[in-house]
Structure 1
Amino acid sequence: MTTSILPLVPVLVLLSSMSSHGHAGHGGDEKREHYMVVETSSLLEPTAICSGLKVMPSSNGTWVPLHRPYGPCSPATSITGTPSLAEMLHWDQLHTDAIRKKATAGGEDVLEPDTPIVDVQQTDYRPIASFGIGTGRGRSGSSTISPTAIDDPILAQTMSIDTSIDLPWIQCLPCPIPECYPQQNAFFDPSTSRTSAAVPCRSAACAALGRYGAGCSNKQCQYFIDYGDGRATSGTYMTDTLTLNPSTVIMNFRFGCSHAVRGDFSGQTSGTMSLGGGRQSLLSQTAATFGNAFSYCVPQPSSSGFLSLGGPANAGPGPASFSRTPLVRNPNIIPTLYVVRLRGIEVGGRRLNVPPIVFSGGSVMDSSVIITQLPPTAYRALRLAFRNAMRAYPRVAGKAGLDTCYDFVRFTNVTVPAVSLVFEGGAVVRLDPMAVMIEGCLAFVPTPRDFALGFIGNVQQQTHEVLYDVGGGSVGFRRGAC
């Protein structure tokens, strides 16, 4: 994620995936219902032209634009280049393995000093956004203030958006290389912000860090985050003014000021703006102002989406209503994660013969995971049905861990079977073509075993507005929102 110095900066969220823009074709009733005709090029490479925001989000709170990091709409440029599909999915596997390992470990997130560390060379594939931090004036203790109360420059920090982490953090001076990683723009310097303050050691905020707490240094509260996938960050826990957009300013926002990292984070990002379910996240810190809900729409590479705090104003019944599934309340899974339950899969309009019990491990709704991971029994059934529907096209060797790939070089258009995910409560989410295939391959992988914790990745979420109604205990889906 990259940074820039601007007076008031709109959030620019970039989602990581390599899938591409496709146009649904128009055939007979059955084809429109059960199959999708798409341009071959759209399944292989992204469009090079940005079409901008397709819809204006409807929100009770505040919203900001959302983009992909490597698409034509992205305002950020990578200092490490565009990652390959193999690199992306290798990181995806490391990341999901780490989350799965921590999910049922009582929330403990501890580094063992004598454990060998694998230095993973990776690109940060999470959604990213630019937030203004520092130097705002306002009454102490107020949650939001008018932007007219700010008379100093605000340093924009472009940060990853991650629903699987609770504690927001950015790189802060002093931040020597290689203890820190190079980023495109200036490091945040808390000494230049008149509203910046370290959280005291004996404060309630420091005690509330829980598993992210790392003791004290010079009477200042310290934090530590171990991602479990080869990356970690540590530093001072601080408060400062957070600017989401010109009309939304959050006072006394708590975040980690990182002075050291481990692993290879992307130079596009200055850190992570976390939206997990824990007490330290952006969602929890703004719940009193915007309500305990947020939503986002993952765009196609050639258009823009949005992130909304407070959720949409028209979330109730009606033509624009959400199809909802309950959030799973499991005391054995850390509260950071948003877990839902799949009940089945439809391919070409037909429900696969998969016992619902194989999904009983639950699935994490995750903005940072790239492709969906299904129980092996469900994945094999999906793969068989998909291959049967795609018999007209020659299969080729798998790549990047994906085992169902095709050669479309002789075809102008491709007919892809419609795939829908069926959730507990009756929510049926029909995927767009670019959410079914990625670089000519079926965009799903199996979990290690049936009943294991699965993931709903951002490739499958794209073009849907996904509502995390934490207060209401549900996740909602609305198709065609971006």
Structure 2
Amino acid sequence: MAMAMVMEELRIASTTWSWKPAPCWSPKPSAPVSRMPSSNGTWVALHRPYGPCSPSPTTTSPPSLVDMLRWDKLHTDAIRRKATAGGDVVLEPDKPIVDVQQSDYKMQASFGIGTGGRSGSSSSSSRISRPSAIDDPILAQPMSIDTSIDLPWIQCAPCPMPECYPQQNALFDPRRSRTSAAVPCGSAACGELGRYGAGCSNNQCQYFVDYGDGRATSGTYMVDALTLNPSTVVMNFRFGCSHAVRGNFSASTSGTMSLGGGRQSLLSQTAATFGNAFSYCVPDPSSSGFLSLGGPADGGGAGRFARTPLVRNPSIIPTLYLVRLRGIEVGGRRLNVPPVVFAGGAVMDSSVIITQLPPTAYRALRLAFRSAMAAYPRVAGGRAGLDTCYDFVRFTSVTVPAVSLVFDGGAVVRLDAMGVMVEGCLAFVPTPGDFALGFIGNVQQQTHEVLYDVGGGSVGFRRGAC
């Protein structure tokens, strides 16, 4: 007997597919714990910069889909170049730097940096209870979350224009924090910078981070207190105090909280205290998500995750988190795609926007998706570089086929309907070729808690977590 195709309804906020966020979703006291991280956990809230849940909403308009996907290609091309080059950027002088930024799908969170004039005894402990710096307008720093970079950094005073970018909140001034200090040259921490090291200045360790997509930051390597939530402070947290940038960064953030696999990342600096794992949930536009250190956000819920092994590849820099796809399901039916085409692996990434599949797999997905969507008129030529787009002007809701990603180890991850389409288009693109390095983008990760269990060697997925 033929299996019925699994379909999902996707409601359209506007007949023109312009994004109009609903009021911010907030959990009720009776809401199940799976919808919100435990109040006892070590976590911070995540939000989308243009969403109603943002604590510091921007006054500018959201970027267009064209601009976001243009940035996405630059970003993923740069990661591919760095991935097999020991982390060094392979320069291509014939290609001009394109000044674009990713904004709408980038996750952001507020972190407290420094201790300012607050009272309380200092401590060398990694976790202490003390008044929070998150709510202090001088110390609170909204930062983007990035799993493809190792070294956390924020802009610091003095930071004159045009060397720095104009951020919306006040610059962090290390001179006003009583726990701030520069990392001295010759110290172990300075030596561990490796490829991020940029020499010394006045016996202060200097750093340099090149994203490879036209953006870079440089300055002094510092230590200070990092407030994660009102009851959790990481003392002697190491980060870059940026005094110069290149390229275009979002004015709604002060810098980047980096979660890559290198020694300098937030994960590595807190692993001994909280555990060598973290998770996050990318929210839909009208919700809040979370970042949890040490494991699943609700604690003890690791068994509810569909897991796939982390891929260890000595030819790929340890910054990146690699997984391997084995197949794709559309409407509950496995597509006829040879698993070997996924051999290049895929990077789990918090800042890449849409998933990139091997061309063989993408063509099979496109064919099956178009067949299931035959009732809706397609847009000739596509939109914004996406080749499978639809005209939904006459519809208030649309039924789309369920799409699931099948990973090594048997994990089957069914995507949220908003993770299948973006602005009326199939939200996938092909990689440069079969066996090329792919990406699992954050559009597809929406509403899933993604667990990076680095110590356990796996990545887990839990649907409907935010």
TM-score, length basis structure 2: 0.92
Aligned to 2:25: 51
- SS of residue in 1 equivalent to 2:148: coil
Aligned to 1:24: none
* Structure 2 residue 388 is matched with structure 1 residue 404: yes
Within the candidate set 367, 385, 410, 2:368 is matched to 385
Task: Verify the 8 A CA contact 1:79 1:184 in the aligned structure 2.
Answer: no
Within the candidate set 200, 204, 210, 1:220 is matched to 204
Aligned to 1:120: 99
Task: Verify the 8 A CA contact 1:138 1:145 in the aligned structure 2.
Answer: no
Question: Shift of residue 412 of structure 1?
Answer: 2.9
Aligned to 1:394: 377
- SS of residue in 2 equivalent to 1:145: coil
Q: 1:202 to 1:194 in 2, by over 3 A?
A: same
> 2: distance between equivalents of 1:183 and 1:86?
24
Within the candidate set 177, 181, 184, 1:197 is matched to 181
* Structure 2 residue 262 is matched with structure 1 residue 283: no
* Structure 2 residue 310 is matched with structure 1 residue 327: yes
Q: How many residues align?
A: 448
Aligned pairs (5 A) from 1:124-203: 124=103, 126-135=106-115, 138-139=121-122, 141-147=124-130, 155-203=139-187
Question: Shift of residue 123 of structure 1?
Answer: 4.2
Aligned to 2:433: 449
Task: Say which is worse superposed, 118-127 or 394-403, in terms of deviation.
Answer: 118-127
Q: 1:307 to 1:247 in 2, by over 3 A?
A: same
Question: Shift of residue 223 of structure 1?
Answer: 0.2
Aligned to 2:69: 89
Q: 1:146 to 1:385 in 2, by over 3 A?
A: same
Where does the alignment leave 5 or more consecutive residues of structure 1 unmatched?
1-29
- SS of residue in 2 equivalent to 1:416: strand
TM-score, length basis structure 1: 0.89
Aligned pairs (5 A) from 1:29-40: 34-40=6-12
> 2: distance between equivalents of 1:126 and 1:233?
18
Aligned to 1:360: 343
Q: Which amino acid aligns with 1:376?
A: P
Q: 1:149 to 1:375 in 2, by over 3 A?
A: closer
Q: Which amino acid aligns with 1:143?
A: S
Within the candidate set 369, 392, 401, 2:352 is matched to 369
Task: Verify the 8 A CA contact 2:326 2:408 in the aligned structure 1.
Answer: yes
> 2: distance between equivalents of 1:40 and 1:220?
54
- SS of residue in 1 equivalent to 2:363: helix
Q: Which amino acid aligns with 2:240?
A: G
Task: Verify the 8 A CA contact 2:112 2:132 in the aligned structure 1.
Answer: no
Task: Verify the 8 A CA contact 1:372 1:455 in the aligned structure 2.
Answer: yes
Task: Say which is worse superposed, 426-435 or 69-78, in terms of deviation.
Answer: 69-78
* Structure 2 residue 301 is matched with structure 1 residue 315: yes
Aligned to 1:9: none
Task: Say which is worse superposed, 228-237 or 302-311, in terms of deviation.
Answer: 302-311
Q: 1:119 to 1:388 in 2, by over 3 A?
A: closer
- SS of residue in 2 equivalent to 1:406: coil
Task: Verify the 8 A CA contact 1:216 1:222 in the aligned structure 2.
Answer: yes
Aligned to 1:426: 410
CA-based RMSD of the aligned residues comes to 2.2
- SS of residue in 2 equivalent to 1:221: strand
Task: Verify the 8 A CA contact 1:80 1:266 in the aligned structure 2.
Answer: no
Question: Shift of residue 135 of structure 1?
Answer: 2.0
- SS of residue in 1 equivalent to 2:459: strand
Question: Shift of residue 65 of structure 1?
Answer: 1.6
> 2: distance between equivalents of 1:183 and 1:37?
39
Within the candidate set 189, 195, 208, 1:211 is matched to 195
Q: Which amino acid aligns with 1:387?
A: R
Question: Shift of residue 414 of structure 1?
Answer: 1.4
> 2: distance between equivalents of 1:401 and 1:191?
47
